[in-house]
Amino acid sequence: MNAAPFIYTAFGISAFVLIGYTLLQVRLQRENRRLLTLLAKGTSHGT
Amino acid sequence: MSIISTPILGVLLLSGVFATWGYGIFRAPTEFYQGEVYRILYLHVPCAFSAFLSAFVLCICSLRVLLQKSAASMSLWTARACAEVGLIYTLLTLFTGSIWGYPTWGVWWTWDARLTTTLILAFLYGCYLLLWNTLDSYPLRAKVCSVFGILIFLDVPIIYKSVTWWRTLHQPPSLLSPSAPMSSEILYPLVASIFVMLGFAAWLILLRSQNIQTHNEIEESLCHTAHGGTLS
């Protein structure tokens, strides 16, 4: 049995999952920091 | 932001993971009995170890939550992050094991002790996340999830010993087995791939826990401003 399709499928999908999850978390981290900055500005300019 | 959770460190660790995968796919020698398909070893085993690491950290954090009320919050966020990262790694372990199993055993799945106990670990991680989302109030959620987090770790030694306790299709532990030693060309890169993947898993856990903590801070801040009315 040719092993190449099994090997490339396993590595390819695992790489996709790990990269996807990492990018999602990095994006979430940036978004959270942006929101925190906005909130800090908002509260400091408040009454 | 902690220097450990910077994206640069993540990119470096992920590059290390891909380097070990590249060695496994293109440079590692062909195995005598299994041929080429054994190369999935460089992916499957590090994923399994990372799933175990997540369960271990989840257990430690859960114990801290139950024992030390003062250090509860960060440990709780880390425990929640461990459950999520652990679930991803457990699913990857099952997926890669299934792909390895078909050309080796002739079946995608069998109710073998090692496979079944690993599937139970995935269900336990899923149940932890369900419990977390279902329970709203802080003390109840912290207590129930922490007790459940400790229970999750109890599955890890059962998974590890399953191949010796029961008759299974899965091979017995062979990493440091004196009866069937691995070639150094296979063993050393495998150990390297395990450590690099563990480092990457730890980085993911840290990043995820910081994201959960920040998200919580934002929610608290929004609640505070909604009640105080100080947001411009």
Instruction: Choose the weakest-confidence range: A35-44, B79-88, B89-98, B155-164.
Output: A35-44
In a domain, B92, yes or no: yes
Contact across the interface for A39 and B211, Cβ inside 8 Å: no
What pLDDT score was predicted for residue B60?
A: 96
Check CB contact under 8 Å for A7 and B25.
yes
From A46's Cα to the closest Cα of chain B, the distance in A is 5
pLDDT digits (tens, 9 = 90+) for B38-49: 999 999 999 999
pLDDT at B177 over 80: no
Whether B11 maps to a domain, the answer reads no
Quick one: which of B226, B227, B223, B85 has its CA closest to B152?
B85
Q: Is B116 within the bounds of a domain? A: yes
Distance from CA of B225 to the nearest CA of A (A): 8
> Pick the residue with more confidence: A14 or B31?
A14
The residue segments making up the domain with residue B85 are 39-168+184-215
Is the residue at B2 inside a domain?
no
Residue B82 lies in a domain: yes
In a domain, B9, yes or no: no
Per DSSP, B174 falls in state -
Interface contact A6-B17, CB threshold 8 A = no
Chains A and B form CB pairs within 8 A to the count of 100
Q: What is the pLDDT of residues B16-69, one digit of tens each?
A: 999 999 999 998 888 888 888 999 999 999 999 999 999 999 999 999 999 987
Is the pLDDT higher at B211 or at B176? B211
Average pLDDT, chain B: 90
**Residue B159 domain-assigned?**
yes
DSSP B140-208: HHHHHHHHHHHHHHHHHHHHHHHHHHS--SSPPP-SS-SSSPPPHHHHHHHHHHHHHHHHHHHHHHHHH
Q: Do A29 and B210 touch (CB under 8 A)?
A: yes
Whether B39 sits inside 8 A of A3 (CB atoms) is yes
Average pLDDT over residues A23-37: 92
- pLDDT value at A40 more than 70: yes
Domain count, chain B: 1
State the ipTM, two decimals: 0.89
Percent of chain B whose pLDDT exceeds 70: 92
CA distance B52 to B157: 9
Assess if residue B86 is contained within a domain. yes
Q: Is B99 on the interface with A (CB under 8 A)?
A: yes
